[in-house]
A = this chain, B = another copy of it.
Amino acid sequence: MSRKDAIALDRKDPFAKKRKEFSIPKGMIYLDGNSLGVLPKAAGPRVKHAVEVEWGRDLITSWNKNGWWNLPRKVGDKIAKVIGAVPGSVIVADTISVNLFKVLSAAVQKRHERKIILSDSGNFPSDLYVAQGLTQFMADGHYLKVVEPEDVLGAITEEVGVVMVTEVDYRSARRHDMKAITDKAHAKGALVVWDLAHSAGAVAGRLMEVDADFAIGCTYKYLNGGPGAPAFVFVHPRLQNEVMPALVGWWGHARPFAFSEAYAPAPGVTRFQCGTQPMLNLVALDAAMDVYKGVNMERLHGKGKKLCALFAKLAEERCGKFGISVHGEQNWDGRGSHVCLAHDEAYAVMQALISRKVVGDFRAPNLMRFGFTPLYVSYADVYDAVEHLHEVLSKKLWNKSKFKAKAAVT
């Protein structure tokens, strides 16, 4: 594999033209789209319009005139296409943790006699915190049971009310079998909440196909919605009118402008809305979702898998002798779109890479994490990133006092 070969792959890549829709900083190889996606070119003007015209000039009339009121559902429908859902089953609102709380409380209430919320140690910690906060508050015997990722399927018993799992592990990129877990849960009478944080926009979504009950996800990673873009909630149509979150508000009311004293849930997924949404972030996400127009998610996921496999292969071949090893899932078909490399000096090596504009992130204690957003990462990026890594390691460029600082915040 030479750089020429990588460029040849880019020439044949049907998604290569998508890269032009993003504003990638000059000279940067950005491999952290699994944390914060890069700026879509359409987002800047859209936000500017929202500030100057919608807020600045049209003010409150924008709720109707500029579609603010319906935006959570409109953008939800755009996301639905990417995650394998149907129109009317997804809304955009709040943060992923808040949305998890909503769907988890709804699911627990629906299976109230069962006391176990089942999750695994590969879940993102905040999901575990949400379940802990909820069950501690309930104080009625409900509890979170955490098993190893490979033990989830076996741990689904008739005592489990809710299975709460993240499809793609934020470190290992191990991907749960959504169909197998959902089927087993349903066979045992449990409901399933899928966290798609590290899937949505990179992995071909199959929510309806696997008959998922609930899903949540964030939109600032592979979906490129911008820093802190509001998250999404999916509720299967068969459940929407059968469940009720503990957290409700006027945006989820059947008649919000009647200002009645009694809560009456709106039909459908709308009842999972609560309060006023951050419109500047929401319009940026709206613009970002348009990049997905005409994108076949299976093919896009296919490119992501190839990028990951190539990166892992080159990294081991070129840098294995310097102590690099691929961490986590190595089945390149059944995994997410990021790769972690383990190294004893992972923090310092990552800092050295970042100083050369090869941007990934560090996860304690010894992981360098690289995300491969198939919409804008090229095969040449992958090749060049490994070359930088090789140079940093072979010349010990990381062994500098300036990279010995304490771990960064993100």
Residues of A within 8 A of B (CB): 23, 25, 30, 32, 35-36, 38-39, 43-44, 47-48, 50-52, 54-57, 59-64, 68-69, 94-98, 101, 105, 109, 121, 124-126, 128-130, 132-134, 136-138, 140, 146, 218, 220, 226-231, 244-251, 253, 257-263, 274-282, 284, 354, 359, 361, 363-364, 407-410
How far is A279 from B258 in the complex, measured between Cα atoms in Å?
Answer: 32
Of the candidates B25, B64, B96, which one forms a contact with A57 in the assembled complex, judged by CB atoms under 8 Å apart?
B25
Q: Are B125 and A259 in contact (CB under 8 A)?
A: yes
Q: How many copies does the complex hold?
A: 2
Of the candidates B35, B52, B56, B137, which one forms a contact with A60 in the assembled complex, judged by CB atoms under 8 Å apart?
B35
Of the candidates B105, B218, B227, B276, which one forms a contact with A62 in the assembled complex, judged by CB atoms under 8 Å apart?
B227
Of the candidates B44, B56, B229, which one forms a contact with A39 in the assembled complex, judged by CB atoms under 8 Å apart?
B56
Contacts of A44 in B (CB 8 A): 48, 51-52, 56
Q: Are A94 and B98 in contact (CB under 8 A)?
A: yes
Q: Are B277 and A95 in contact (CB under 8 A)?
A: yes
Contacts of A282 in B (CB 8 A): 228
Which residue in chain B gives the minimum CB-CB distance to A262?
Answer: B132
Q: Which of A30, A130, A231, A274 has the most CB of B within 10 A?
A: A274
Of the candidates B248, B262, B280, B409, which one forms a contact with A281 in the assembled complex, judged by CB atoms under 8 Å apart?
B280
Q: Are A96 and B275 in contact (CB under 8 A)?
A: yes
Please judge, given known A-B contacts A274-B95, A364-B259, whether A56 and B121 are in contact too, CB under 8 Å: no
Which residue in chain B gives the minimum CB-CB distance to A263?
Answer: B129
Known: A95-B276, A133-B247. 5 other contacts (CB 8 A): A48-B51, A51-B284, A60-B410, A125-B261, A226-B279
Of the candidates B38, B47, B137, which one forms a contact with A246 in the assembled complex, judged by CB atoms under 8 Å apart?
B137
How far is A249 from B231 in the complex, measured between Cα atoms in Å?
Answer: 14
Contacts of A407 in B (CB 8 A): 257
Q: Are B280 and A133 in contact (CB under 8 A)?
A: no
How far is A279 from B124 in the complex, measured between Cα atoms in Å?
Answer: 22
Q: Are B280 and A129 in contact (CB under 8 A)?
A: no
Q: Are B280 and A47 in contact (CB under 8 A)?
A: yes
Please judge, given known A-B contacts A137-B109, A227-B280, whether A274 and B98 are in contact too, CB under 8 Å: yes
Contacts of A146 in B (CB 8 A): 261
How far is A134 from B128 in the complex, measured between Cα atoms in Å?
Answer: 21
Q: Are B55 and A226 in contact (CB under 8 A)?
A: yes
Which residue in chain B gives the minimum CB-CB distance to A227?
Answer: B279
